[in-house]
Amino acid sequence: MVRGELEERSYHHGNLREALVEAGVELARSGGPGAVLLRAVSRQAGVSHNAAYRHFANQEDLLAAVGERCMTRLGELMVERSAQVAARGPVRRARARLEAIGRAYIDFARTEPGWFRTAFSSARHDAEGPAADSSAGSAETNPYLILGARLDELVEVGALTPERRRGAEFAAWSAVHGLSSLLLDGPLRDLPEAQIEPAIGVVLGVVNRGLE
Amino acid sequence: MVRGELEERSYHHGNLREALVEAGVELARSGGPGAVLLRAVSRQAGVSHNAAYRHFANQEDLLAAVGERCMTRLGELMVERSAQVAARGPVRRARARLEAIGRAYIDFARTEPGWFRTAFSSARHDAEGPAADSSAGSAETNPYLILGARLDELVEVGALTPERRRGAEFAAWSAVHGLSSLLLDGPLRDLPEAQIEPAIGVVLGVVNRGLE
DNA sequence: CAGGTGATGTTGACGGTGACAACATTGGTG
DNA sequence: CACCAATGTTGTCACCGTCAACATCACCTG
């Protein structure tokens, strides 16, 4: 049923929805959410405009699907960086793993601004955030759940008290997301390169200290 | 030269640029940056499409002007809330004033999401952020400078050490902006009302503690 | 005070986009 | 094998940004 990419297709594509989302992700990478156009993704997929309407209700629906994919990419980077942490000792390690996902978040925003903006551009996300019921987007790549797991780790090793654990996601996430946004689209857009790394350090430091 | 609003105009508007920006602000209030369209603002101003091209290079340019106005509105609310603080004692007062502008920021985002999104939607801002040279948008209503002033106050009263002052804007601003963004367009979009206020408290608390 | 000229607003056109409707093709199912 | 629902296509429409050509007028110059 699923056709190979090089195979000649005859009228029916066979895997159009996936092809459209993938095309959208590619367009979003360089052009951000504004580049995820129904006609553009259809062209990219070698299909007529309007074919997408068999798989998405409208452009917003397509954008949501593409955004979800971008969010997954972000989660994947966080998982990857978290796994690379080599710190020894339970407390040091847990702290390093938290910092790693924070830095991964910011790095993702800076190296893939199109994807980052697209991940947060959709007006409708299914199964993200605290109210995540077990549906799409496997839990391992959900940034919110990844953050929660790292914070739980901190509690387990005794580096974070249960009271401080309460709502800690909001603080950590807000700080990291806020810095990313300000660096990308906010007034920190033109911050000199040399000042960015120190700024990241300050933000992560404040969060770290604030959670103690 | 400047004509009254009710006066019949004859061919030349007299104050079109301002009228267009004002129309843009009005449209942005309910529709966000996506509603700031050249043709829409021109209609609203009772002028033909294309008239705007005498005052703005393109739609992006218009959006930047509208965004700047929205940013000013945000700054005005911050100033207002900061001035209302009644806490006594220099340290308590300085702390309360910092918290007040943080809450004002978040309140603005929540009560005027269209304006908030528009303020940060422009790809080009003149004279915002750290590199602000003395140009447009009076310094009193520049959110970044307002924040800096509050942090300076904290140093003056001895509630913040000079070392911690370094880059403190980044931490405070990121946390507050991040929470606003996540509540508006991020995965916290559907956070139950009852959990929002506690979340704000946690975020502000972490920043406060992190700066000590 | 008259005429002209540059700034400002209008009309018309073009290509691109989202969306709807009607039609074409086809894979699977009875 | 015939039918049908799913899937893709063609055609159309309204709206948008933008450019070019034209119209009007405020103001300056003489």
- Report chain B's mean pLDDT, rounded to a whole number: 91
**Strand C: positions under 7 A of a protein C-beta atom:** 7-13, 16-22, 25-28
- Nearest by CB to B178, which of A131, A173, A211? A173
Note the pLDDT tens digit of each residue in A20-37: 999 999 999 999 999 999
With bands split at pLDDT 50, 70 and 90, how would you rate the model's confidence at B139?
confident
Q: Is the CB of B11 under 7 A from strand C?
A: yes
Identity of the residue in B179, B190, B206 whose CB atom sits nearest the CB atom of A210: B206
Query: For strand D, is any atom closer than 7 Å to the CB of A13?
Result: yes
- Among A30, A24, A14, which Cα is nearest to A56's? A24
Measure A114 CA to D5 C1' (Å).
Answer: 38
Structure tokens at A152: 């739980």
Tell me the CB-side half-sphere exposure of residue B144, using CA atoms within 13 A. 17
pTM value is: 0.92
- HSE-up (13 A, CA, CB side) for residue A51: 22
Residue A71: name the closest of A128, A151, A123, A135 by CA. A128
Residue from B174, B196, B197, B211 whose CB has the most chain A CBs within 10 Å, to mutate: B174
| DSSP 3-state percent helix, strand, coil across chain B (nearest 5) | 65, 0, 30
The shortest C-alpha distance from A99 to chain B (Å) reads 15
Closest Cα partner for B200 from A208, A210, A167, A98? A167
Contact A175 B171 (CB under 8 A): yes
Quick: pLDDT tens for A156-207: 999 999 999 999 999 999 999 999 999 999 999 999 999 999 999 999 999 9
Alpha-carbon span B212 to B207, nearest angstrom:
9
User: Å from A15 (CA) to D2 (C1')?
Assistant: 27
pLDDT reported for residue A126? 54
Nearest CA in chain A to B190: A131
Q: Is the pLDDT of residue B127 over 60?
A: no
Asked if A104 contacts A153 with a C-beta cutoff of 8 angstroms, the reply is no
CA distances from A69 to A46, A66, A119, A120 (A): 21, 5, 8, 11
